[in-house]
Chain A
Amino acid sequence: MTILTPSTETEIVEAVQWALSEGAPVEVCGHGSKRGLGRPLQTEHTIALSNHSGVTLYEPDELVLSARAGTPIAELEALLASKGQAFQFEPMDYGPLLGQAAGQGSLGGVLAANLCGPRRLKAGSARDHVLGVRVVSGRGELFKSGGRVVKNVTGYDLSKGMANSWGTLGIATEITFKVLPAPETETTLVVRGLMDDEAARAMAIAMGSSGEVASAAHLPVNICGRFIEGVLKGESSTLLRLEGFAPSVADRVAMLRGLLSSAGAIEEISGKISRKLWQEVRDVIPFADGTERPVWRVSMAPMEAHKLVASMRMGAAADAYYDWQGGLIWMRLDGEPEAEAVRALVRKYGGGHATLVRAPDAVRAATAVFEPQPAALAALSKRLKQQFDPDGILNPGRMVAGV
């Protein structure tokens, strides 16, 4: 077992070329914070980017930041905060859910897993903010794509191509992201006592208004006591986050209170507690229980998702809450992952995808972790992998068995 920890781009190229010449598949990781996600790898060697770290460009006026792939995300967020800026897509931290410490993720993983957070509806995910990449392909060649400017249609967007590729196409060595001003203030409206379907309707009304709602989540009654130290205990909570300049937030709070006055009792949470609440929604804190009980992450049309949860609850002990106006389900099951049942329901209710983000190794080896694709699409994905990594040496089988 060899762990290579290259600290320069040249060393990363050498590491891949060595693996190629040995015909030895490698695990590619940063600090390994998401090692528990995806199909377990059975490689002898590892290329870890933890030593390839550091900011290479940060120009706040130009809203742009470049850093090496192994740079800890926590370090970058602190740097941005010092200038009143942030990654607007607020990349989630899988650490706590996967039984690791918080704050271990690095920039490469943000793109490789296409991370995002509760602001996904308004601000997008990592793919929507990446501007450029430098990548070592599975051919052992260093290529670049994109640049450092927001508007760029010069050639194929291989930067987006790296998003959600889980290190199977290439090793991003350096990534450039768009950054944006952090909101001046935030307030969360909490509508109490809604059932899941009522919450979906209320969130749709709010998101479809001119209230510029940044995030909308629904925490069913059995789960909402597990956020922010039990403050929300007792009744289900439908959360609407409003951000921006103080006068604007106050105005929109009033507007939405009017709009939703018939929906239920409305409370307000602001400032630090509001930020903490959304961070816990983002990082799936209620399911960060130190176990390996199966956790699903399901992306569907917002108005359909609650039907899947209702069906699952009838047959299994399912614990779930919703982000993204209802369109993102986080669901923990007590026994088996029930992959076929979950995916049949996704298809039944308009399509989407279900990812088994947590389960014991043996289960993840036997169950498709990522939503299986129809034949033509799976074949296309496989051809793409072959074009980047013809010998299949980078994270083989992490996403799909045999690819």
Chain B
Amino acid sequence: MSGLVMPKADAATMSRRKEIVAALQAIVPGEGVVDVTNEMRAFESDALTAYRQLPLVVVLPQTVRQVSQILKYCHDNNVKVVPRGSGTSLSGGALPLEDAVLLVMSRFNRILEIDYPNRVAVVQPGVTNLGITKAVEHEGFYYAPDPSSQIACSIGGNVAENSGGVHCLKYGLTANNVLGLEMVLISGEVVRLGGKHLDSEGYDLLGLMTGSEGLLGVVTEVTVRILQKPATARALMVGFPSSETAGQCVADIIAAGIIPGGMEMMDRPAIHAAEDFVHAGYPLDVEALLIIELDGPAVEVNHLIDMVEKIAGRNGASSCIISQSEEERMTFWAGRKAAFPAVGRISPDYLCMDGTIPRKELPQVLAGMRALSEKYGLRVANVFHAGDGNLHPLILYDANIPDELRKAEDFGADILRLCVKVGGVLTGEHGVGVEKRELMPEMFNEIDLNQQIRVKCAFDDKHLLNPGKVFPQLHRCAELGRMHVHRGQLPFPDIPRF
């Protein structure tokens, strides 16, 4: 993917740059338009830093009316638009295009309403994920989805990516915790989906929008569910002699009817990297480590801790420590939460992959990864949301060694192919973006992809919103609309019908 090809810049648009900048300045006066190269540098990549591109111009609107006017202008003048939240995407979802306006939503940073009796918060899309929890925690509430970038990532970006986190087996993804959106279509029309009430009167457009990676519309307001914090939480830290035994322990916990608040697995390289970094007290003589968190009323948590401890014992756990205090529980998590920077310490660069597999396939996938690691001559460490099968292999490489980025990317692509082969998917929570765009045909055939693009056509028939992301090729809508109907005979005439 180092040879990433983005849609060819449109010369006509480039030649109209001055005119476009002036039009945007008329819509967003003051400092809301950034067109100086040095100042635009801050926006040239997201958290997939291997790719950089200066946008045509950056615009930071402050009102829904401005967003509507910007999009309408771009629609009427055939100018592409790349929406951006906080820029924490790991898949290049907010990578600018040379001939596209970068629409940055960070000034939409106000919490509009907190409604405890209806248990919702209404916020602007630039509010950070953690910012929502911070605003309601004095009343004992929180917002459940907790992607690891929650301190920085915006709720608008969470909607675009359908972000998850360690707690989503029990509490769901963004899609399950968002009740309503206000969004602007590329035509400039403002529509509202859902609200403080549940479900849709018609098609589930909210479901289609969530995880659509900025290709269908620009979110200007989000209504989320807030929940009361669980009364208590305790964690077990359990070491296993193999990933198979750890995997069986996870299966047995679920078979016992227990859905833990969080259940994370790390493999040997990840355990060692994390322990060297934060000294969380992780056992170093194990092949797999599970951190299992139970939350809820104290009696329930204690009851379940006993059950899980017994299940771990039956599966040959070589060590099992149960948190006795909030401080100890946080220490267990410290290593896991620092796994990415910990790996960053032992390698100049790393790629973070994001596949999901059926849990039972874990031993096979880990073995396959070891073989690939030898083939490519690159190390890999694994952290794994064990409850839901979301795997984050971290591929270690050195960008200063010629060709090593390409090797790391090929290694990553092979891992994702393996995930698909065992019944899994290309991306669990990071999105397709530009990173996994070319791999989409591994999972979908042409008919599957064309039907997805037809959804895009219903929202944005000129393909102006975030082109070059998600789909390897965007067929023109008119082309996709054609029907080939042959006059047929009545099918399966041998069955009775009356």
Contacts and interface: CB of A to CB of B under 8 A. Distances in A.
A203 B426 CA distance: 42
A264 interface: no
A368 to B, nearest CB: 10
A309 to B, nearest CB: 15
A371 B194 CA distance: 12
Contact of B425 (A18, A154, A165): A154
B207 A152 contact: no
A302 B488 contact: no
Contacts of B210: 157, 160
Interface string B279-312: 0000000000000000011111001100000000
A257 to B, nearest CB: 14
A261 interface: no
Given A61-B254, A390-B483, A158 B168 contact: no
Interface string A148-175: 1111111111101101110001000000
B389 A201 contact: no
B424 interface: yes
A244 B452 CA distance: 40
A324 interface: yes
Contacts of A383: 457-459
Interface residues of B, number: 104
A222 interface: no
A397 interface: no
Interface residues of A, number: 106
B208 interface: yes
A301 B455 contact: no
A186 to B, nearest CB: 14
Interface stretch (B69-77, B111-119, B369-377): B111-119
Given A62-B360, A370-B202, A155 B230 contact: no
Contacts of A200: 117
**B117, B296, B485: which has the most chain A beta carbons within 10 Å?**
B117
Interface majority SS (helix, strand, loop, mixed), chain B = loop
Contacts of A209: 228
Contacts of A391: 483
Interface stretch (A98-106, A122-130, A228-236, A359-367): A122-130
Given A141-B451, A152-B427, A245-B300, A163 B487 contact: no
B353 to A, nearest CB: 13
B337 interface: no
A6 B175 CA distance: 34
Nearest to B162: A153
Contacts of A147: 356, 423-425, 443
B29 interface: no
A149 B357 contact: yes
A160 B208 contact: yes
Contacts of A181: 254, 257-259
B424 A153 contact: no
Given A149-B424, A300-B197, A376-B190, A161 B203 contact: yes
B385 A151 contact: yes
**A5, A157, A300, A302: which has the most chain B beta carbons within 10 Å?**
A157
B492 A6 contact: yes
A128 B485 contact: no
Contact of A355 (B201, B212, B390, B485): B201
Given A248-B303, A376-B191, 19 more contacts: A21-B488, A61-B251, A62-B360, A84-B257, A125-B198, A149-B356, A149-B424, A151-B389, A155-B452, A165-B204, A169-B203, A201-B117, A210-B140, A247-B300, A301-B195, A301-B197, A380-B458, A381-B202, A384-B203
29 contacts: A4-B492, A14-B491, A17-B486, A60-B255, A143-B448, A147-B424, A152-B428, A154-B440, A154-B443, A155-B432, A155-B444, A155-B449, A157-B210, A160-B208, A164-B203, A200-B117, A204-B117, A208-B116, A208-B117, A210-B140, A245-B304, A248-B297, A351-B197, A352-B197, A353-B199, A374-B192, A380-B205, A383-B458, A387-B458
| For the complex of A and B, 7 pairs with smallest distance between CB atoms | A160-B207, A248-B300, A353-B201, A181-B257, A371-B201, A301-B196, A14-B491
Interface of A: 1-6, 11, 14-15, 17-18, 20-22, 59-64, 84, 114, 116, 120-121, 124-125, 127-128, 137, 139-145, 147-158, 160-161, 163-165, 169, 180-182, 184, 200-201, 204, 207-210, 212, 244-245, 247-248, 250-252, 255, 299-304, 324, 327-328, 350-353, 355, 370-371, 373-374, 376-377, 380-381, 383-384, 386-388, 390-391, 399-400
